[in-house]
Each structure stands twice: as C-alpha cells, then as structure tokens.
Structure 1
C-alpha cells in the first residue's frame, strides 16, 4: 500500500485523492480480512458439525443395534415364561424350562455388559476385552435348546450337527458368537415357509478356520436383493422373502469384528444357506 501511495505522489495525484485511496484500500483490506476470518470460522464450524453428525449417527445406530440385539433374549425369556404357564406344561417340562430361563437371562446380562462398553472402547477393543475360552459345543447346543423351547407351539425343527474335528473349547468372544448364531437361526425360523420345515446349523473346521453353516427351507431371497441384504434397514416388500433389515447387517458386522466372512447362497422356493467363517489361531484351539 505504501508503494502505491508513493507512486500516486510521484505521478502528481493530489493529497486528498491519495488519502481517499489509502482510506479505500484500508476498507478493502478490512473487508478482505473479515472474509478470510469468515471462511476460517465456516470451515471450523463445518468440520465440527460433520464430526457431531458422525457422533450422533453412531449413537443412533448403537441404540438401534442394542434394541435389536436385546430383543432376542427378551423374546426368548418371554416365550419360555409363556410355555411355563401353558395349560399343557407338566411338572417335568417346567423343570426343564426354568434352567433355560436362567440361561437366557445370563445371555441378556452378558450382552448388556458387552453393549455398555460402547462409550469406552471401539469395536476391536471391545472384542479384545471379552476374549476368553469357552465350550463351543455346549454354547451351540444351548442356543438350539433355548430357541426350540421359546415357543411352546413351535413345529419348526432345529437341527445341530458338529463334525468330529470341531474343538470343544475355543478362545474367542462368546457373546458375539452367540449373537451371530442366534440372529441367523432366528431369521431361518422367521422366514420358513411351513410350520414343519427345518433349520439346520452345521459346524466344521478347515485348518484353522471355523465354518458355521445355517440352512433353512424358506422362500429364498430374490437375486436382486442378494447384494443388498447386508445393508442396514434393507427389507423386501414381500413379507415371505428372507430379508431381516438390521439383523443381517448386524450379523455381518459381528462376523467382521471377529475377522471372519459371511456369504449367502439362496434359491427361490428352495431356501437359503448362510456360510460363516471365523479364524481360529493354533494357540487358541484347545
């Protein structure tokens, strides 16, 4: 600006004109500085708003996922209690149902403890915080037993088969594995075509990989929907087609948390098979 004023004096501009020019330049400089300040503040606010929106979306998704996952054990407990007070429920059946209610309550408590870690840890840290040895055979058998007994009038048959090489005790996140298996079996039951269909759970290993297969005899999934069924809140317009919205999205997220994969094979009017692979390290197989 000083050079501009000197040039103005040298070329014969009057003092008043030079002073006016200086005043104009000062005003423009202030406007420019205000504009720069505005841009800086706008970028800061925009960044903070995006960060806040991400946190809010994360909290909303957490609430939806937690509600969905709590529904399973709560529905099971409710169904077992309904069976307990059913007129056809005899003393022997009651003795069998009470331990199942207790197991279902333990499952609900375990999930709540896992879910409450959300404010403290990210997904990987939450998984690492709850790794422990547990009996896989007993875990899968209890899931089948609980789901079979939750509805006193259920006619759909749940079948469990485990290959001989499947280890009894593994080192993993028991709560997450229960959620994965229970989600898939519940979907198979929900979308079965007939009351007398069967839903099969098969477990085997291939080297250090645990392979869980859930097969049902439902209506099947349309090819158009196959690539989208793991997206959150995706449902089909046909209530008889196999698509459970957030459930499958959660299953995929749980599988990914454990470092595994999930694939689906489906045919209309025949059924659907979900294949889940979970890594087992050599020093983690007991």
Structure 2
C-alpha cells in the first residue's frame, strides 16, 4: 500500500519546517526531506517522486533556481514553491516558464497545502496517462503502417502472377475465351493493383522524411506523361515549362502529385470526345512553382468540389473505376511540403487544378 501513496520530496534549509511538514502530512503521504538543493538532487537519483516542494529562500540555490535546473532532467514531478516573502517577479517568471505548478506562502495553511498537493497529483496522473496513450497510439500507428505496407507488397506479387498467366493463355492457341472472361479478370486485377499502389503511395507519403533536391520540371513532366500516354493514345498532351530559376523540392511527393492528377485527367475524358487534351503548365519563380493541369474531360459537379480531397470520396456522375484515394494523397503530399491546391471545374467541360509549391532553393540560400 505504501507504494500507492503520493510520494513527496520537501526541500527546506530550516529543519523545523521539515519536521512540521512531516508531522502534519506523514499519515497522508510518503514523505522525503532534504535540507539543500544538492541533497535533494541526490535523493531524486534513487527515488521516483510525484511532487517536489521547495522553499524559495535557501542558501546557495533558491527554490526557483533548483526547479529550473531539474526541469529538463526530471520533467514529470509536479513542482510547488514555498515562499515566506513576496518576490512576485521571480514567482511569475517561474510559473510562466513552467518551472513551477503553484506557490504557497509560508507559514502554510494545512488545508490549502493539502488541497494543492492533491490537485498537483491529479495533474501528474493525467500527464502520465496522456503520455502512455501517446506511446500506445504511436506504437499502434507504426504497426498498422508496417502491416499495410507489407501486405500491399505481398499482394502485388500474386496479382502480377495472375496477369502473367492471362498473357500466357492468350499466346496459347488451344485456349478459347468466347465470353471474354480473361479480359474481365485482367480488368479486375489491374484495378486491384492500382488500388494497392495507392495504398503504398499513401504509406510512403506518411512515413518518409521530406527530402529536397533540384528538379527539372521539363524532365519530370516528360516522365509523367510518358507513363500515361499509352492509356489513351488519342489525347493531345501539351506541356509548357517556364523555369528560369533553379527549383528545389521533394521529387517523390511532387511526382506523386503530378501522377495522380495526370492520371485523373486521362481517366475522366469524355468517351466520345473528338479532341481530348491535357494541358500541363509550370512557372518557376524564386520563391515558388505554380503548376496547372487542365483537361477537357467530363468535369466535376459543383456540389462535389468541396469533397473531392476526402478519403474514399467518389463522384456519382461517372462510371469510371477509381479508388477514391488519389486526390486525398495529393492533398496530404502537398501538406507535407507546404504546398496548396485549388480546383476549378465545369461539369461537361473539364477541370483545372492549380498547385503552388514553395521553392526550397530560396530558403537554403
């Protein structure tokens, strides 16, 4: 039972004050005493206390100075200052800087001090529980992220095997598929693989540190557009890069942003469009880069514009396959690198996204 009691260290150079404190509170608390700040430090090396009470006016080291010295080394115990005189500036400064929780005037009132100790212990417990919850949540979050990443990678391997078997079956002239089942299977596998890749993107965006390096937008956009041109060979890609200044940014996240937005521009074209197009523009300035991605596709309903960056939101005005996570990843990636995004869309006419990304080259100079 003794270990469950509130443990208090009281430091005061006047021995009769220590004796009076012990006589008044020994039945309620587990009490340790010291006659100097030095002796108090030695006791704290071997005892985990919940509350530290120190007299302000002590030789060599004052109570405020003692609390200041131990704050970073022992942040958990709640600190209470006893003062027999009014040194308002020191007390206010100590409270504002978090060196002490409260102060009590000497001679203390037993009921007031008892109430202050119990309130301080409640705060100690609340902080301890919060710290434990944070550690528990961080552990759970880390395990969940590792599980998602591992599972996603493990799932891709059998999916690629299925696609390989489908391709082999097409080369085998003895296999017939008059109902088109192979095409259906392939479509489902490709859709599932795309969703898994989005999960991996989300994981990497949430876990990887931001790293800045020089970016050539002309090369970056060429890599991005080359990836999607084969999906719809009728689309006219127009790229305009104006980069008179060096630009430094996070290549991985900017690539994720561009790939997701260009993928949507290609995917959500009108089925019967006569001249589908995707316009990509980049203007680099000393402090930022502005990127515009414009298409003449099916557009987005105005009532959906406020929701498109939410996870798993999918517009009901089209029957195109999608995971509902791509634009969420775009927004999260931009948040990581301090960027912003806006969207303007007319249903049936097309959509334009405008992205602003800080140029870290300016910050490093």
Which TM-score applies when normalising by structure 2?
A: 0.45
Query: Cα distance 1:167–1:137, how it changes in 2: closer, same or farther (>3 A)?
Result: farther
Aligned to 1:115: 204
Tell me if the contact between 1:217 and 1:272 (Cα under 8 Å) persists in the aligned partners.
yes
Q: In the alignment, which residue of structure 2 is the partner of 1:248?
A: 327
Does the alignment pair 1:230 with 2:230?
no
**Shift of residue 230 of structure 1?**
0.7
Aligned to 2:227: 146
- C-alpha root-mean-square deviation of aligned residues, in Å? 5.0
Q: Which residue of 2 aligns with 1:179?
A: 256
Alpha-carbon shift at residue 226 of structure 1 (Å)? 0.9
1:215 corresponds to 2:294? yes
Distance 1:159 1:228, change over 3 A: same
Give the 3-state SS of the residue equivalent to 1:272 in structure 2. Answer: strand
- Unpaired segments of 5 or more residues in structure 1? 1-28, 30-36, 88-107
Q: SS of the residue aligned with 1:185?
A: helix
Aligned-pair distance for 1:135?
2.4
The answer (yes or no) to whether the contact 1:201–1:212 under 8 Å persists in 2 is no
2:45 aligns to what?
none
Please state if 1:161 is matched with 2:239: yes
Query: Aligned partners of 1:178, 1:225: CA distance in 2, in Å?
Result: 25
Counterpart in 2 of 1:101?
none
SS in 2 for 1:127: coil
Cα distance per residue 1:70-93 (max 9 Å; x no partner):
x9xxx9xx99xx99xx99xxxxxx
State how far apart, in whole Å, the 2-side matches of 1:158 and 1:66 are. 38
- Residue 210 of structure 2 is matched in structure 1 by 127
Tell me the TM-score normalized by structure 1. Answer: 0.56
**Greater fraction helix:** 1
Which position in structure 1 is the counterpart of 2:340?
261
Q: Quick one: distance in 2 between partners of 1:266 and 1:278?
A: 21
Alpha-carbon displacement from aligned partner over 1:140-189 (angstroms, at most 9, x marks no partner): 1121112213x4xx3341513224x3248532211111111000011111
Q: How does 1:74-113 map to 2 (within 5 A)?
A: none
User: 1:67, 1:162 → 2: CA distance?
Assistant: 40
- Give the total of aligned pairs: 220
Larger radius of gyration: 2
**How far apart are the structure 2 equivalents of 1:217 and 1:68?**
34
1:218–1:269 Cα contact (<8 Å) kept: yes
Shift of the alpha carbon at 1:229?
Answer: 1.0
The change in CA–CA distance for 1:117 and 1:53 in structure 2 (over 3 A counts) is closer
CA contact (8 A) 2:276 2:297 kept: no
Shift of 1:58: 6.6
Distance in 1 of aligned mates of 2:206 and 2:309: 24
Q: Distance in 2 between matches of 1:219 and 1:49?
A: 47
1:202 aligned partner: 280
- Listed as ranges, the gaps of 5+ residues in structure 2 are 1-27, 29-120, 172-196
- C-alpha change, 1:254 and 1:117, in structure 2 (3 Å) is closer
Q: Compare relative contact order (CA 8 Å, sep 6+) and give the higher one, 1 or 2.
A: 1
